Structure 1
């Protein structure tokens, strides 16, 4: 895998990123879920990079990006994307975020709509709780709880049992991703999930939006995807028979849904 480049945000944190695809194509930014890194999208690059200049990055607290101590905010995660775009000279881009990355996508749609061409919000929610449950996870991470326990829980929530049993290579790849996430970085990201509430702001999003949900998702429920699609004017909903990471569980239908939506904007008008 090619080495990642680094960008320094205005608070001194470094954000690791990489490009795939031809430089003359429109930019598509991919944003990772909690406890993963940019490589969660590896399976999609062959398909997406045929049409787009794909920009992937490791969200702060994850992968090769900085993991500052303390609680992160959704505003900070959103500004990381805007600063990265500014630093790379990208005035506008399509944006696809999954789970926590979908929170970032919602924030961008509300606070920086002029920077977003088309928005894909995958397996995400406008609000999750209860806060006390998330606080328990943060306290456990800060208290030295084994990351292996978190890895087991994440994997059980992300994938169907059948995939975990038949595809140990994928299971171990994502387990390694989780285990290399700094505990304090994961705790900081959990604070974003605890504190974010976009429910009243969703109707402000005026970008063309596709919402992708998992009918069997136990993390961000199907009803969360339905709620987002109903609140954003003109949004479309694609519900897949998946759990939480449909890009891994059923990549072909997932890529078809994303590309079918994004490439509409690239078709010539009649």
Structure 2
């Protein structure tokens, strides 16, 4: 295991040659933090620090975002999971805790299903199993996000991420509204990857202890996905945050970070 005490921003390459940028902070047990669709590692700004008392946090820029390469594609949540494994291998990290939110939660599902020996504990936030069984956002949400006026679309996304009361006290800047430097083909690739995700059959195979979190007022990824995931994953627990929307991890940050830390640091269950 490599030393995680330093802070480091660097990169490695995927098998296809794509540059994968990653960032490591803090010391302790490794915790992989996975961001939402079309976002880079700044998604976790102002939150990752909450885990440094117990963990070294590892983030990355998905291909198509940040300092990573932006190949033509196709992109998929399984490919993103493979990229995470590439970064873990480069860092000689054999096993890590994983916390994925939104599309990052979809990526985390494949990590835990396809590489169970690499995931110690799993937190899935504001995400869904994908596929035909997952509750989808309603038509009004899709229309609001598809507006031709970028400013109007951004306002709609902001409203889906945070409650008006929280925005009134936190006027920004906001780090969860997408990577503005993404090329259009990569943005489309991320959308397709998220929309085509379907891990329903794989969820029964998950062996890592799992905590499912969701904002109760989330319309971007409807909150009904949380109990669905928890029922599908053996032994999973769930927690809803009343009044919170998609970015519950920022809006309810103190409670969320304490809950996640408590879950990740709880004693290992004794063998049966």
Bin for the TM-score computed over the shorter chain? 0.7 to 0.9
1:18-71 deviation line (CA, Å, top 9, x unaligned): 11112xx11000000113221221222322011011111111222222222243
Contact 2:37 2:194 in 1 (8 A): no
Q: CA deviation at 1:184?
A: 1.9
Structure 1 gaps of 5+ residues are none
Residue 252 of structure 1 corresponds to 254
1:147-182 deviation line (CA, Å, top 9, x unaligned): 5454333222111123333322234x445x542333
Contact 1:74 1:192 in 2 (8 A): yes
Contact 1:71 1:189 in 2 (8 A): no
Q: 1:147 & 1:267 partners in 2: Cα distance? A: 49
| Root-mean-square deviation (Å) | 2.7
Within the alignment, does 1:213 sit opposite 2:214 as a pair? yes
Q: 1:153 & 1:266 partners in 2: Cα distance? A: 42
Q: 2:157 & 2:99 partners in 1: Cα distance? A: 21
Contact 1:41 1:247 in 2 (8 A): no
Within the alignment, does 1:163 sit opposite 2:166 as a pair? yes
> Number of paired residues?
256
Contact 2:8 2:24 in 1 (8 A): no
Q: 1:159 & 1:66 partners in 2: Cα distance? A: 30
Structure 2 gaps of 5+ residues are 1-6
Q: 1:245 & 1:215 partners in 2: Cα distance? A: 11
- Written as runs of structure 1 = structure 2, the 5 A alignment for 1:59-208 is 59-127=62-130, 148=151, 150-171=153-174, 173-175=175-177, 177-208=178-209
Residue 3 of structure 2 corresponds to none
TM-score in terms of structure 2 length: 0.85
Contact 1:59 1:65 in 2 (8 A): yes
Residue 15 of structure 1 corresponds to 20
As a proportion of its length, which structure holds more helix? 1
- Written as runs of structure 1 = structure 2, the 5 A alignment for 1:29-44 is 29-44=32-47
